Structure 1
Amino acid sequence: MSHRAPSTRATPASLPSPTPAPHSLARDDLDDTTRKLRWGDAQVHEVDEVDDGHAARTAQGQQEDDEVGERDEVEGGVLAITSVKGKVGCCFYDPVTDKLSVLEDQQDSADWDLTALLVEQLLPATVITSSTADAAFLETLDAQLAALPANAFSSAASTSGVTGDTNTRLEYRPTREFYAGQGKYALSQLHIHEGGWYASGERERDDFDSGYDSGLGVDGDLEQGFNDAYAFDDRPTKRRKTSAAGNPDGEVSRRNQELRVEAFLNSLCTSSLMVGCAGALLNHLHKTRSDLGELSDGIQVKGLELIKLDKIMLVNSDALTSLQIFQDEAHAATGSSATKEGLSLFGIVNIARTPLGKLLMRQWFIRPSLELDVIEARHDAVECFIRDENQPAIDAVEANFKHIKNVRRVLKAIASGDGSLSDWQAIWMFVYGSIQIRDAILSLEHRQSVEIVDKFLDSFDSLAFKDLGEIINNVIDWQESQLTQGKVCIRPGIDAELDKLRRRYAGLESFLSSVAKDVAFDLPRELAKDLSLVYFPQLGYLITIANEPNVTDADKYGAFGWDFQFVTEQQAYFKSSKCRDLDRHIGDLQCFISDKEIEILHALVGHVLELQGQMLSAADALAELDCLIAFAGASRLYDWVRPVMTEDAVCKIIKGRHPLAELCVETFVPNGTSLVGGQATIKPDSEQEVELCGDEDKSMIILTGANFSGKSVYLKQVALITFMAHIGCFVPAEDALIGLTDRLMTRVSTRESVTRGSSAFMIDLQQIAFALRNLTPRSLLVLDEFGKGTEADDGAGLFCGVIEHLLGLGRDAPRVVVATHFQHVFLNGLLSRKLPATLAHMEIRVDESTAGSSSAETKGVESVAYLYRLAPGLALSSHATSLASLFGLSPDVLLRAEEVSHAVSTFSLDALALSDEAQMSAAERDELREVEACARRFVGLELGAAREGEGQDGVEELKERLRWVLDGEGGGFEDGTT
């Protein structure tokens, strides 16, 4: 506890004004009931009445801490990966879930597709690899990291040392850090929270004790307080014992954890690369935390699990960007390099209110689920939360979400001894908010089948939480803590010894004044008038007089029994026998008070950590609950419906809409979709009026049509509806039947970068090649104008090859939606119209009267009305000039463009010259007629074979003929006969 330095001039027999004690006598006179927080909204904000400015600063600081914690956790994902002889092993740390995920050693393909999938699915902020890994692997890893979109991590992410134009840091570490023995030892030293990772989702906890008694009575214990700071539990209380709260026998818990880790490591004994990566990753985490000042005996994680790529939808980075699932935009602040989430699917759906809920929402978007029971459980929850009769309860839950902070970060701070007042407030508000949310959840209608509700209700004991909240509230003096600049202060009545020390400290001024008078009584008058007795923490009690020459002379004041200590510019300080008696009998009060308060806080921390497992379980459940309520809010706001999920490779959508495009227009035209993986494996439901359903459903839709007619929007809406169904959200459609989709891949937009060293068309080819290698019958592929990046004939050829390959897969064909302007491949017979694919186009209406107008400005340029409606059949024109007219190109340019386009398409390039005759001068027309006559004479000239014996006469005759062709001169050749 700090103590302000004494004044430069002290009055006789007085004590310098010290810094106010945490509990002075004046503060003790206040009514104790005005300083206690109660369970209820009215009392929650009572603390703010003390100092509104400081409270506002505290709230702002807490919000900033949450934002910083949230950003750090998003940026902190670390992937350790390496390869030896084509085998790949990796280990990933996810700070959002605080888990380690490992991938057993697997043989990768020659193109390192598994490595690419891992990087795109995990989206790490830091990648660690061995410097001696396979050269081709390192090259592929570097290229893949350079291709990742920068906005895939966080809208506020910003780190240094990036690779390419992304936020990913690539570190090459020595081979010795990837040794399997070192990794096995590092894993064995892990501290894993009990009951989390190896229970296979089952809770190892006892049932609730229905006889739980808080032991607090009404207000008796609150008024009486506790007799001892360590006796928080000395009340008649039955505490529920859970595995999450920790086993009282710590040795048994520790041994169980060791056995589980050992069993897990034994099951992975053949995956030396993975174990080595785990060691390198844990070593990196330890160094990083040490650099941040976090000292710990070992790394603590919540769990250890295997990476199962078959349980999540693999969404490549191109899909995240091209479908606008994430979209960064520059911050509005001038000169700021920060970014924020723009118009994106994540931006309109992520209305979660808690820090952990926002982080979990991002994880769901990056890794959609392929587990049917998980998806349907989320849909059940959204369906329950969206009901009108449940709206009051949901409003109450959302109102209490403001009390839920990043409890995982707060618990780490409190456990490490760095907990501030705002951290203790966050814990108290979390406990309070959890109980309030539980009460609101219990009033929900039709909640019996909602898994997240049961999960949240089972995650903690409300009586134990209430007990803990009252303990914290009774121990910490919120008002006094705010008056002392946020230092955590203990209430009076908590510990008898602490109260005794505070009373001594409060009466110390008057006591020292009386002692100073006794000391000055036997001193000369001129010395006594300037004498004071002061107290310094860690220095004890000192006599001080005015500074004068020779004040340090031992003989001058030694006669009084004073020992010189130190001198300032105006004061000199001495120790006397009286001062030593005070040091011996009273002691260093401020240090005693500080030590006692620290001991009490340590005891309070122990009580908090007893319920740490329940708090973390409740926090995880609240984060999931927050996300699902956000889904329900977005579904209600945008009129989305619940999709029907199935394991069949099918995608049937009735009146689907684009979730983003419909927000930007006054009227959006919905369209249907019918796709089945493979060829005609599922018959359409006769009761569902899905557009484009013929006798058989196809695995591919080939979409043609005019520019600006909505082809790209249609393609993206099919992909987005499929994506939204897998994250557990409702979808923008009248009805939808969505089959589980293991991969969502796109070739929609090309992200160029100088660091990639590839042309735009080469990037397109890389995307297509990756898709063709990894697609399955359960995949969805979206192709938008593939082949347009090169010469038209080559692009059309590649387009035909890809389409025929995909359709040739038969029952292994994925679901594919294609948009193209290569209509001529069907008109010229390069692709048959009888292929097992649905040909469709976006409907338009052409004003024929405008196309046939005699007006020079509009002749030949059609007026087109875009209907944005999907219709069967093949479109024959892109109507590019009609679209150009909408954007203000001059009529002369449009007419010329129409003429050239018609001439090229009909192979009548000579018509271009004739159409320009009216614009020629007289000389140019005469020259053109002469050239035409010359050409006609040449075409009409007949040359016979040379006859034997003609010799020089034949050559002369040929010259005469050529002269006639060029000049029209020469006899006997006008008819062109020989």
Structure 2
Amino acid sequence: MALDLDREGRVGCAYYVVMDEALFIEEDMVMGGVEVVSTILLRVQPTTIIIPNRAPQDLVELLEKDAQGLDDTQAQGSYILRHLSAAEFDYDAAKEALVGVDLEPLNKPEAVEIYCPEGESVGCIGSSSHGKLIRLAETININSHASVGCAGAVLNDLDRRRAVKDFAPGAEENPLFQIKSLKMNTPMDVMLVSADSLVSLQILRSELHPSHQVQSSKLSEPRVKQGLSIFGLLQGLACTAEGKLKLRQMLFLPSTNISILMERQRALAALLCPENREAVREIQKLLKKIKNIRPQLSHVRKGVDRIRGQLSIRIGVYKTLLRFSMVSVQLKEVMLPLSRDSGPGIFSRIHDELNSESLLAVGEIILRTFDFKLSEENSRTEILGGASAKLDMLKENHTDILEMLPNVKMSVASRVPKWAAQHIQDCIMFPGQGFLLGVTLNPDTGEGVYDGENNDDWEMAFINEDLIYYKTNAMRELDEQLGDPASDVARADEELEVILRLSAVVLEHESAIIHASKLFGELDSLVALALAAEKYSWVRPQMTTSNVIDIKDGRHPLQEMLVESFIPNDCIVAGGRGSSGNLDQNCIPTKSKYEATEPSMVILTGPNNSGKSIYMRQVAIIVYLAHIGSYVPAVRATIGVTDRILTRIATQETALDDESAFLIDVKQAAFTLNFATRRSLILADEFGKGTTMEAGAGILAAYLAHFLNLDEERPKVLVGTHFHELLEHVILKPGNGLAYAHMEVRLNLDADDAEDQITYLYKLRPGPGQGSLGILCAELNGVEKEVLDRADYFVQLMETGIHFEEALKRRTAEEEEEDGRLREAEAVARQFLATDIPESGDANLCDIRSMLDDILRTGYADRDGDTEAYTDMDMNMDVVSDI
């Protein structure tokens, strides 16, 4: 993959898929930034990334986080990151390279050839290259300068890889890194979802593998597993590798094309129909028999070779192809009733586009070529009789010679001395060494009991248990007459020819096989969605072009799996109608009232842990599922086409970032400001909490006011916040597209137990909440009572208008009393230190007592002038006596 990011935030991307031999070029994404790059990485999962050496630092830092490094700590990265010269990403050079790609659409004969001077660019009007450029423009958008430049960098890298492969020892004849197709991915009819949104909504969530051995292994595969996520939920219901891949594509590329979504919903409805239950079970059973066919075709495409005298091709490759061809035909027959009832869709396409003749032809020739049972027993590839006349003749000769060997042994035994005849035990034909004679081994000498005579040159070949095998003159004569039939069979070029002819036939039908695999992958993905709908009680949403979200009793598909009972909630929001003030021409009339009466923004308040975040996420997930054609967790749902889901929920902090949490939040919010349209859904949870209360509330208010002021272009916004100042100070007034709501709780502050003072009902109610109840929530989570009392005291002071710093300076009555005692003690100590005590010879004990009493009286009097309060001489004398 090649990536480029310019100063204006334009993202260019192109990547090559080795398995498909296809070059993909993305449309330039204006103002995309590193957020879009993160989404591309999640979707494509590249093994190598190349970027220009002028790439901005934020792109380099993003890519270096998961890149493989030279040290052991980073050797297990997800991909290799390489920096290339900026010249490799040159747009004009890339255009010429793309024109030079040998594709069928670009190699049609020219009607008119106009001479173009040598060295002229592809832009020379009328030239053959110019004609190819025009046809290239029909396939890709050549105005996507950044992405076209990335395509040029990919082509250059592929050229280098091919050159290295060609000069490598033992290079295969089949060319690698060829380009058979050129495709352009455009963002049209696709919902934009940032990488932050994918993680925040748990569409995708990876976590370290639970096995420590797997985590610390040196394998190149990622050592992670799919955690609790939407993809993980659905992936486990798919049966085939192609189906899992299709599910991933659907999740990363949610569609905004209602026709596509309705087609998928019709397929799900047919799969969920009770009348088709048996057919669906049979489809599942057949899909489980299908393995990933692309690697198998890759093995066939590479050809065969011999390793140690045996064919290197794995018999399992053709067994997989045989099973695929048979299962494909069976699937087509099983889905015949579904194709009749569901109308146009995947079932009809499988019935119409699946080439049964090609698949049966592949299966038939494989069946007529291999003996799978004998191959498994002999651990080598065994060719059936009838696959090759020459090979059959070689095998027949080999069999005749094997039948002749006992007679040869008897003939040799008749020509040796009678005492030695009994020691001639065997005559074999050994591959590579020809005919050999087996004689009884003499364990004392390590030689044969009989080893020839009369100048008969007996040459020892090898010892096997109690026999020693010799090459004799008689055996040499057989070698000259019959050759080495065993080696002929083992190394016969005809055996290779048989498999090569079979490979050629299979590759003739390669496009039909791959197309069938794609169709079954799409079928498998829809079966997985149908199973999820049935298993988790999801319903079919109504898709509309009206800019609304109307959900009845919606649920969070992941959260409801973790709790005993989940409380469903409704949601109704409506975005702007557009600058013209009219609804879309194709919108459903019955839903037009939403856009005039329902709010476009809902601000959620209420205590911590009351379910605000779960509610916002469940709305976004329901909208997301609807845009992949899936059923949704609700009783009823009407979902308007949503072009983007933008979130400011989870702050993705790492030790590698030098940015504060607030700065990360602000960048995410800026991304939503730049990309939001009236058809977007925006989620903001506790935005502004990373700075002071005043600044955070102000920034949040300005952020929300921006969307409200868009009038007919305003998006749909859900906000969760604890900044109750927004309502208390009338910063954002309800009405005019704005509504407040809260998650209901029941309070009983008279209860002794903190857990009984608050009961979370998790039900959405209109209007603002009673407050955050932060102190009560802290008590529920084990914070000590002394800390909570202090916190409550500070809250009460601040609610009266006292600044927090002034509240810290204020003291309670107990603290004032304690402070007074400390000041008294300090005054006495200072007076004592200032008094001149006479020596023992100059004063008696009574005088010293009187002096100390005066110190006590003076010290206390200096405090408040009240000497009567401190005339307890007994107490004072006790102190003096102690001294």
What does residue range 300-311 of structure 1 map to in structure 2 within 5 Å? 300=178, 303-311=181-189
What does residue range 815-964 of structure 1 map to in structure 2 within 5 Å? 815-833=716-734, 836-847=737-748, 849-850=750-751, 863-907=757-801, 916-917=812-813, 919=814, 924=819
TM-score (norm 2): 0.77
Check 1:902–1:699 CA distance in 2 against 1; reply closer, same or farther (3 A cut).
same
Aligned-residue offset at 1:801: 2.0
What does residue range 36-435 of structure 1 map to in structure 2 within 5 Å? 78-79=1-2, 81=4, 89-94=12-17, 99-103=22-26, 109=31, 112=33, 116=37, 119=40, 122-132=43-53, 134=54, 137-145=55-63, 167-174=78-85, 178=89, 263-264=135-136, 271=145, 273-283=149-159, 286=162, 296-300=174-178, 303-333=181-211, 335-337=213-215, 338-350=223-235, 351-417=237-303, 419-435=313-329
CA distance in 2, matches of 1:664, 1:84: 45
- Aligned pair partner of 1:675 in 569, 573, 578: 573
Q: Counterpart of 1:700?
A: 601
Is 2:647 the partner of 1:746? yes
CA distance in 2, matches of 1:518, 1:558: 16
**1:479-499 CA distance string (max 9 Å, x none):** 1111112x2322234444433
Q: Counterpart of 1:592?
A: 489
Letter in 1 for 2:511: G
Q: Counterpart of 1:767?
A: 668
**Preserved contact between residue 99 and residue 136 of structure 2 (Cα < 8 Å):** no
**Preserved contact between residue 98 and residue 152 of structure 2 (Cα < 8 Å):** no
Check 1:780–1:724 CA distance in 2 against 1; reply closer, same or farther (3 A cut).
same
Aligned-residue offset at 1:913: 8.9
CA distance in 2, matches of 1:107, 1:666: 44
Q: Counterpart of 2:836?
A: none
Q: Counterpart of 2:405?
A: 512
CA distance in 2, matches of 1:661, 1:108: 36
Q: Counterpart of 1:610?
A: 508
Letter in 2 for 1:346: F
What does residue range 454-493 of structure 1 map to in structure 2 within 5 Å? 454-485=348-379, 487-493=380-386
Aligned-residue offset at 1:880: 1.7
Is 2:690 the partner of 1:789? yes
CA distance in 2, matches of 1:302, 1:733: 45
**1:430-477 CA distance string (max 9 Å, x none):** 111112211211133863424111221223232443343233223321
CA distance in 2, matches of 1:161, 1:296: 36
Aligned-residue offset at 1:353: 0.4
Of residues 333-342 and 870-879 in structure 1, the stretch that sits farther from structure 2 once superposed is 333-342
CA distance in 2, matches of 1:882, 1:181: 66
Q: Secondary structure at the match of 2:637?
A: strand
Aligned-residue offset at 1:392: 0.8
**Preserved contact between residue 120 and residue 316 of structure 1 (Cα < 8 Å):** no
Check 1:901–1:142 CA distance in 2 against 1; reply closer, same or farther (3 A cut).
same
**Preserved contact between residue 657 and residue 732 of structure 1 (Cα < 8 Å):** yes
CA distance in 2, matches of 1:80, 1:431: 39
CA distance in 1, matches of 2:589, 2:99: 60
Letter in 1 for 2:226: E
CA distance in 2, matches of 1:187, 1:581: 63
Aligned-residue offset at 1:98: 5.7
Is 2:553 the partner of 1:630? no
Of residues 729-738 and 560-569 in structure 1, the stretch that sits farther from structure 2 once superposed is 560-569
Check 1:144–1:761 CA distance in 2 against 1; reply closer, same or farther (3 A cut).
same
CA distance in 1, matches of 2:738, 2:711: 11
Check 1:679–1:464 CA distance in 2 against 1; reply closer, same or farther (3 A cut).
closer
**Preserved contact between residue 747 and residue 786 of structure 1 (Cα < 8 Å):** yes
Q: Secondary structure at the match of 1:845?
A: strand
CA distance in 1, matches of 2:595, 2:645: 25
Q: Secondary structure at the match of 1:475?
A: coil
Aligned-residue offset at 1:179: 6.4
Aligned-residue offset at 1:823: 0.6
**1:533-583 CA distance string (max 9 Å, x none):** 54332343356779999999xxx9997575969778996754647525534
**Preserved contact between residue 460 and residue 468 of structure 2 (Cα < 8 Å):** no
Check 1:98–1:720 CA distance in 2 against 1; reply closer, same or farther (3 A cut).
farther
Check 1:336–1:397 CA distance in 2 against 1; reply closer, same or farther (3 A cut).
same
**Preserved contact between residue 841 and residue 873 of structure 1 (Cα < 8 Å):** yes
**Preserved contact between residue 576 and residue 715 of structure 2 (Cα < 8 Å):** yes
Check 1:402–1:85 CA distance in 2 against 1; reply closer, same or farther (3 A cut).
closer
Is 2:419 the partner of 1:498? no
**1:66-93 CA distance string (max 9 Å, x none):** xxxxxxxxxxxx3454769987643123
Q: Counterpart of 1:55?
A: none
Check 1:929–1:734 CA distance in 2 against 1; reply closer, same or farther (3 A cut).
farther
Q: Counterpart of 2:707?
A: 806
CA distance in 1, matches of 2:335, 2:69: 38
Aligned-residue offset at 1:357: 0.6
Letter in 2 for 1:779: S
Check 1:907–1:713 CA distance in 2 against 1; reply closer, same or farther (3 A cut).
same
Q: Secondary structure at the match of 1:751?
A: coil
CA distance in 1, matches of 2:750, 2:554: 34
* Coordinate RMSD, CA, aligned: 4.5
Letter in 2 for 1:511: M
CA distance in 2, matches of 1:107, 1:747: 21
Q: Which has the higher contact order (CA 8 A, sep 6+)?
A: 1
Check 1:164–1:899 CA distance in 2 against 1; reply closer, same or farther (3 A cut).
farther
Q: Counterpart of 2:309?
A: none
**Preserved contact between residue 80 and residue 281 of structure 1 (Cα < 8 Å):** no
**1:322-358 CA distance string (max 9 Å, x none):** 1111223444445431432222111222210011111
Aligned-residue offset at 1:679: 7.1
**Preserved contact between residue 312 and residue 368 of structure 1 (Cα < 8 Å):** yes
Aligned-residue offset at 1:827: 0.8
Aligned-residue offset at 1:700: 1.5
Aligned-residue offset at 1:729: 0.7
Letter in 1 for 2:135: A
Is 2:486 the partner of 1:601? no
**Preserved contact between residue 262 and residue 629 of structure 2 (Cα < 8 Å):** yes
Aligned-residue offset at 1:321: 1.2
Aligned-residue offset at 1:293: 7.4
CA distance in 1, matches of 2:782, 2:35: 49
Check 1:114–1:866 CA distance in 2 against 1; reply closer, same or farther (3 A cut).
closer
**1:37-95 CA distance string (max 9 Å, x none):** xxxxxxxxxxxxxxxxxxxxxxxxxxxxxxxxxxxxxxxxx345476998764312346
TM-score (norm 1): 0.70
CA distance in 1, matches of 2:156, 2:434: 51
Check 1:802–1:181 CA distance in 2 against 1; reply closer, same or farther (3 A cut).
closer
Mark the runs of 5 or more structure 2 residues left unpaired by the alignment: 109-129, 216-222, 305-312, 826-860, 867-883
CA distance in 2, matches of 1:464, 1:275: 35
Q: Counterpart of 1:203?
A: none
Q: Counterpart of 1:538?
A: 432
